[in-house]
Amino acid sequence: MELTRSPRVKALLKSRYPQLVLFVLMLAGFVFAILAGFIGTPVGSHNFSIVFVWIAWWAILILVAVPFFGRGWCAVCPIPVAGDWLQRGAVLNPAPKTPKWLGLRVPAKFRNMWMQNISFTLVALFSSVILTTPVVTSVVLAAMLFLAIGLSMVFERRAFCRYLCPVGGFIGLYAQTAPIELRIKDKNVCAKCVGKPCYNGSDLGSGCPWDVFPGGLTKNTYCGLCLECLRTCPHDNIAINARPFSADLARPSAKLDEAFKAFIMLGAALIYAYVLMGSSGAAKLAAYNVFTPAWFVYAAIFLTVIFILLPGLYWLVISITPRGRGVGVREFAIASTPLIPLGLMFWVAFSLSFVLTNATYILAALSDPLGLGWNLFGTAALAWQPLLSAFIAPAQSLALVGGLAWAARTAQKTAPQAGISSAPVISYCLAVTLLMIWLLL
Amino acid sequence: MRFNFLLFLLGLAGLVMMFAPLPVQSSPPVEREFRIEASQYAYSPGEISVNPGDTVKIHLVSTDVVHGLYVDEYGVSITADPGQTATLTFVADKPGSFRLRCNVTCGAMHPFMIGKLYVGPNLWFYRSAGLAALVILSIVFWKRSNQPTITAN
């Protein structure tokens, strides 16, 4: 269903002003979060940077934005905005024909998801400190902001978002399941289009900041929904469509970097469920006390699980069946597709517990964002109280079992494309789901 | 027809799995006492088990900073100063698995200072695991039932 068929919706999306207002608001909040981490209380649960980034923003991202709007967050993310403005030398005007800065192309060997896999893994290894220590959160946020700005000066388009952002990688992976897409209406129109302004830019807007030619777009993974192509297309050939969930997964990706992103996300969810939601104090201390011997053991286990154990077991499971013998890299990557909906629902289930338990901190931090004794809205002294405790276990159960069903259906569609049986894939999904159920419930 | 009936049965089994009450345990309620040591960022023992109907008495001893203990869904809590013991008593009348959480900011990892209370069997675990197995059976069965069949003329 084409949402942009409505003239009002289309006008709203084509206008730069609503997006600009959101950008400015988000950027203000982002900069304030950085400042709060540096100058506010070191107590994480009373500091705006921790509460708004890791509770409020995370809840919106993983429970609403990614499942329902795919890369919708990327459309309003404040991190690349300053770099974009500097790169273009303007706030609203499109990029000039000749780059104002170096405008280099990202080297071909980096034009994949591996850098994002590495950046996410690095953040994940230090996540216990980042999630709980305001000043560390601020350092990470500021580093992302300045990296985005720096890369905008060196490379063309949004190199940071596309190839380095630790969050952007998994949003792109899971955006394939979202019931919304940006696609062209008619391929022939694109084929005949002179100058390809959607990719190269025109007076109406910049060429795709995400380095995607919309005419060849078949998946949500790398489309940042920035809407530039909607503005630049001279033939009105770009549409925003509502569609069934996981429509992109019917044509699975054969890229190993994306397959590993799925394993990394699945493994990280399992490890966080054990370390953060479990009762082992030793595991929490090991994860928190970075660069101690215990942390190195934790890091080694973390890396082994996400890069060796989970993918290794998967390869073993699919290759021991008669049809799976001699399975290659391409088939392995295709066969990993069911882990995308499964991983998304693992994160939904994990986040439900974390977010609802700590949501009352949001109201307290609104009134006293720096933990300096303010009481702006009269909610600063609000006592901590878990929200909807009785609802969490059934909701997690539904999310995990629903994710398993979704993964199993996906396996039935994608396994034949990898030339293997869906049975071992489904068995693997069942086993890791039972493990996650045991860890969370 | 046969396919729809089997799907109906599987759906019914799913509902039973999720909502059927478990058999009432036969042992009479007793008073169960636990000494739990709290330190950054764990309870020791981290997990305790009782039977439904038992009266639970928890002696919370903090070994470093001030810690609290809040029982999810029961909504009862207690705070212990360093070196002091505080006692919490409640009747475990809700079956299932519940998280014990520190409700006094005790350090960086405070939001993740968690223990577990099991009142009888961990219902949601068994229900979810059963439902997961049932869902897989249904999907496999559904797929097989919808596979095109080749008939010889």
> pLDDT tens, position by position, for chain A (441 residues)?
899 999 999 999 999 999 999 999 999 999 999 999 999 999 999 999 999 999 999 999 999 999 999 999 999 999 999 999 999 999 988 888 888 889 999 999 999 999 999 999 999 999 999 999 999 999 999 999 999 999 999 999 999 999 999 999 999 999 999 999 999 999 999 999 999 999 999 999 999 999 999 999 999 999 999 999 999 999 999 999 999 999 999 999 999 999 999 999 999 999 999 999 999 999 999 999 999 999 999 999 999 999 999 999 999 999 888 777 778 899 999 999 999 999 999 999 999 988 999 999 999 999 999 999 999 999 998 889 999 999 999 999 999 999 999 999 999 999 999 999 999 999 999 999 999 999 999
In a domain, B88, yes or no: yes
Do residue B140 and residue A426 have CB atoms under 8 angstroms apart?
A: yes
Q: Which domain holds residue B82?
A: 24-120
With CA atoms as reference, the chain A residue closest to B122 would be: A441
> Which of B114, B136, B143 minimises the CB distance to A279?
B114
pLDDT digits (tens, 9 = 90+) for A149-185: 999 999 999 999 999 999 999 999 999 999 999 999 9
pLDDT digits (tens, 9 = 90+) for B27-74: 889 999 999 999 999 999 999 999 999 999 999 999 999 999 999 999
Same domain membership, residue B30 and residue B13: no
Q: Output DSSP code: residue B45.
A: S
Which one of B41, B77, B118, B128 makes the best mutation probe of the A interface by having the most chain A beta carbons within 10 Å? Answer: B128
Write down the pLDDT at residue B148. 60
In a domain, B150, yes or no: no
Same domain membership, residue B18 and residue B39: no
Q: What is the 3-state secondary structure (H, E, C) of chain A?
A: CEHHHCHHHHHHHHCHHHHHHHHHHHHHHHHHHHHHHHHCCCCHHHCHHHHHHHHHHHHHHHHHHHHHHCCHHHHHCCCCHHHHHHHHCCCCCCCCCCCCCCCECCCHHHCCCHHHHHHHHHHHHCHHHHHHCHHHHHHHHHHHHHHHHHHHHHECCCHHHHHHCHHHHHHHHHHCCCCEEEEECCHHHHHHCCCCHHHHCECCECCCCCCCCHHHCCCCCCCCCCCHHHHHCCCCCEEEEECCCCHHHHCCCCCHHHHHHHHHHHHHHHHHHHHCCCCCHHHHHHHHCCCCHHHHHHHHHHHHHHHHHHHHHHHHHHHCCHHHCCCCHHHHHHHCCCHHHHHHHHHHHHHHHHHHHHCHHHHHHHHCCCCCCCCCCCCCCCCCCCCCHHHHHHHHHHHHHHHHHHHHHHHHHHHHHHCCCHHHHHHHHHHHHHHHHHHHC
Same domain membership, residue B140 and residue B104: no
Same domain membership, residue B99 and residue B64: yes
Do residue B127 and residue A397 have CB atoms under 8 angstroms apart?
A: yes
Do residue A426 and residue B143 have CB atoms under 8 angstroms apart?
A: no
Count of CB atoms situated within 10 Å of the CB of A62: 22
Looking at the 3D structure of chain B, how many domains does it have? 2
> How far B40 CA lies from chain A's nearest CA (Å)?
8
Cβ of residue B70 closer than 8 Å to a chain A Cβ:
yes
Same domain membership, residue B137 and residue B103: no
pLDDT digits (tens, 9 = 90+) for B4-24: 777 777 777 777 777 777 665
Write down the pLDDT at residue B25. 62
Write down the pLDDT at residue A268. 98
Write down the pLDDT at residue B32. 96
In a domain, B51, yes or no: yes
Question: Could you tell me the residue ranges of all domains in chain A?
Answer: 3-175, 250-440
Q: Is the pLDDT of residue B78 over 70?
A: yes
> Which of A277, A409, A438 minimises the CB distance to B125?
A438
Same domain membership, residue B115 and residue B53: yes
Same domain membership, residue B40 and residue B30: yes
Same domain membership, residue B138 and residue B72: no
Same domain membership, residue B95 and residue B51: yes
List CB contacts (< 8 A) between A389 and chain B.
Answer: 72-73, 75
With CA atoms as reference, the chain B residue closest to A404 would be: B132
Write down the pLDDT at residue B12. 75
Do residue B108 and residue A44 have CB atoms under 8 angstroms apart?
A: yes
If you search the block for the tokens 């207002």, which residue do you land on? A21
In a domain, B95, yes or no: yes
Who contacts A357 (Cβ-Cβ below 8 Å, separation ≥6)?
A386, A387, A389, A392, B101, B111
Answer yes or no: is the ipTM higher than 0.85. Answer: yes
Write down the pLDDT at residue B14. 77
> Which of B70, B110, B114 minimises the CB distance to A278?
B114
pLDDT digits (tens, 9 = 90+) for A366-417: 999 999 999 999 999 888 999 999 999 999 999 999 999 999 999 999 999 9
> How far A116 CA lies from chain B's nearest CA (Å)?
27
Return left, alpha or beta for B10; rule: phi > 0 is left, psi -120 to 50 is alpha, else beta: alpha
In a domain, B82, yes or no: yes
Same domain membership, residue B6 and residue B28: no
Which one of A129, A275, A279 makes the best mutation probe of the B interface by having the most chain B beta carbons within 10 Å? Answer: A279
Same domain membership, residue B63 and residue B138: no
Same domain membership, residue B138 and residue B84: no
Write down the pLDDT at residue A339. 97
